[in-house]
Structure formats: structure tokens, C-alpha cells
């Protein structure tokens, strides 16, 4: 039987604890008791863990052996900021699909009020990623970076494979660009950039070109940004597997 999995709030080499809502849920709803066994992620490692004490405020565990766990996809999503409800949906689904990092991008066509509010939203996006990580039984939580301008994000990008989703590109499908950049040892890391609802501006396209990003298409239909993000991650994950 699949054991319930928890992501520890604090941990040492041999112990872990859950606090806040997680502890309250374990104590009040699941009525956890000392001696029960769960899977607990502590510091990015998955362990079999035994409950040693339970209260509404914290649940303590002794960590037993480390268990095998799936690694995150080596995928960095640069996601132009768009309407927050759609953005939250995209972050949740991208987390479920296994991306390792998301950078929200302040694009030229990101609506002004969204760009102004974005820095304060980052904490909420991190909480969404945490909840989606638990729900999807990930052993890690994707990093949600602080919102950045496109120029700053591209200057810092380390991934050797850099792919720009562009609704104006017609020749190169995403799968072909990924196949062309494959190495015998696999992919070190892949960066995927998705534009805002209004698309990338010509100036932004020029910045991508100057930083050696490959434009690709997802087909003839214009997708909403969040649909494009999910479709691109699904295609990339089948190539990276
Ligand atoms: N304003 C644009 C238009 O009406 O032509 C549409 C932008 S689209 C809603 C938002 C983003 O999703 C694009 O910048 C691109 O990154 C991605 N996207 C949407 N459809 C795509 C496609 N068929 N191929 C590649 N990327 C696509």
C-alpha cells in the first residue's frame, strides 16, 4: 500500500517535524499516533519515518532508511507574468509535471498592475508550489525565483539548451529542437521561455536571439500562455525521460 507522504518543516540528520497545518491535519484528522510509519521528505531526501510524538502544533518523527525517489526534470521554466489566477494554475501544474525551477518574468507586455504586484505574489506562488509538490508526491519543491526582467533572467541563464516558445515560429517544433540538442549523456538542463498573453515584443525577440535561444512552435494554433506552458513541459518531459 502507498504510504502518505509529508514534506518536513524542520529536520536533523535523524529526526523531522511537521508544524502548522500539516501537524494539525495529522493530529486532528488522521489521528496519528506514535509508532505509525509514513514517508517523510527531509532536506530533499525521502525517508521511511516513524511518528514519535503528536500534538496539534507539531508532529515529530524518527527518520529511518532513505528511500529511492524520482529526480525533478532538469527543466527551468521562464514564465512571463500573466493574469494571476492563470499564473497560479500554471505554477501548480508545472510543479505536478516535475519542473525544477520557475522564474516569473516581467515582460514588456505583462500588464502594468500585474508587474507592480508580482514581487509580493512570489510567496504565494511558493506556497502553491509546496502544496502541489506534496499532492504530486514530489521529493523536492521547485524553486520559484523572485520576478525578474527578461534581460536579467537571460543573462543569468546557465542551461546549455535554451528554447523560446514563439507563436510566430513555424519551422521548428519543440521536439525537433530538443532532439537536436540531445547529448549522449542526456540533458544537463533545459530552459523554456513562455510569453505573456500579448506575446513577446520584437525587442524581446532580439534579446533572445542575442543570447542564443532557439525559437520553436507548438503547432498552428495560438495557445493561451498557461496551455503553452503545460504542453511544452509535457513534450519536454517525454524527450528528457
Ligand atoms: N499575442 C499573441 C497572438 O495573439 O498572436 C499570442 C500570445 S500566446 C497567448 C502566449 C505565449 O504562449 C506566446 O508568447 C508563446 O510563448 C506561447 N505560445 C502560444 N501558442 C504557441 C504556439 N503555437 N507555438 C509556440 N508558442 C506558443
Q: Indicate if the pLDDT at residue 4 is higher than 90.
A: no
Task: Show the ligand 1 pocket: residues with CB < 6 angstroms.
Answer: 165-167, 194-195, 197-200, 217-219, 221-225, 228
Cell of 117: 504586484
pLDDT range class, residue 137, cuts 50, 70, 90: confident
State residue 74's pLDDT score: 92
How many A from CA of 230 to the centre of ligand 1? 12
Q: Ligand 1 atom 10: the closest Cα is on which residue?
A: 225
Pocket test for ligand 1, best of 81, 177, 199 (most atoms within 8 A of CB): 199
State residue 1's pLDDT score: 64
Strand 5-7 with 37-42, pairing: parallel
Angle between helices 84-97 and 112-135 (to 10 degrees): 30
Q: Ligand 1 atom 27: the closest Cα is on which residue?
A: 167
Q: Ligand 1 atom 14: the closest Cα is on which residue?
A: 195
What's the mean pLDDT in 216-239? 95
Q: Taking the model in full, what pTM does it have?
A: 0.85
Statement: 75-240 belongs to CATH 3.40.1190.20: no
The 10s digit of each residue's pLDDT in 36-85 is 999 998 988 889 999 999 999 999 999 999 998 777 899 999 999 999 99
Pocket test for ligand 1, best of 80, 167, 216, 225 (most atoms within 8 A of CB): 167
Domain ranges of the chain: 5-66, 75-240
Quick check: do 5-66 and 75-240 share a fold? no
State residue 72's pLDDT score: 82
How many A from CA of 169 to the centre of ligand 1? 10
State residue 239's pLDDT score: 86
The count of residues in the chain is: 241
How many A from CA of 166 to the centre of ligand 1? 6
| Contact between 152 and 78 (Cβ < 8 Å) | no
| 5-66 CATH | 2.40.240.20
CA nearest neighbour of 136 among 83, 97, 169: 97
State residue 34's pLDDT score: 96
Amino acid at each position: 500500500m502507498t504510504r502518505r507522504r509529508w514534506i518536513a518543516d524542520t529536520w536533523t540528520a535523524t529526526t523531522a517535524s511537521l508544524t502548522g497545518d500539516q501537524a494539525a491535519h495529522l493530529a486532528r484528522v488522521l489521528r496519528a499516533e506514535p509508532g505509525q510509519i509514513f514517508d517523510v521528505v527531509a532536506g530533499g531526501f525521502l525517508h521511511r519515518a516513524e511518528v514519535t510524538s503528536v500534538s496539534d502544533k507539531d508532529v515529530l518523527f524518527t527518520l529511518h532508511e532513505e528511500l529511492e525517489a524520482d529526480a525533478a526534470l532538469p527543466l527551468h521554466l521562464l514564465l512571463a507574468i500573466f493574469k494571476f489566477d492563470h499564473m497560479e494554475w500554471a505554477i501548480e501544474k508545472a510543479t505536478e509535471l516535475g519542473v525544477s525551477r520557475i522564474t516569473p518574468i516581467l515582460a514588456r507586455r505583462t500588464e502594468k498592475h500585474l508587474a507592480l504586484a508580482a514581487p509580493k505574489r512570489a510567496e504565494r506562488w511558493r506556497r502553491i508550489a509546496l502544496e502541489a509538490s506534496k499532492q504530486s508526491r514530489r521529493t523536492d519543491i521547485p524553486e520559484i525565483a523572485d520576478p525578474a526582467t527578461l534581460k536579467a533572467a537571460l543573462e543569468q541563464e546557465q542551461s546549455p539548451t535554451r528554447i523560446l516558445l514563439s507563436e510566430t515560429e513555424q519551422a521548428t517544433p519543440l521536439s525537433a529542437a530538443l532532439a537536436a540538442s540531445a547529448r549522449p549523456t542526456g540533458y544537463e538542463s533545459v530552459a523554456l521561455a513562455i510569453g505573456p498573453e500579448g506575446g513577446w515584443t520584437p525587442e524581446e525577440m532580439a534579446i533572445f536571439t542575442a543570447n542564443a535561444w532557439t525559437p520553436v512552435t507548438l503547432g498552428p494554433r495560438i495557445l493561451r500562455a498557461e496551455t503553452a506552458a503545460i504542453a511544452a513541459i509535457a513534450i519536454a518531459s517525454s524527450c528528457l525521460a
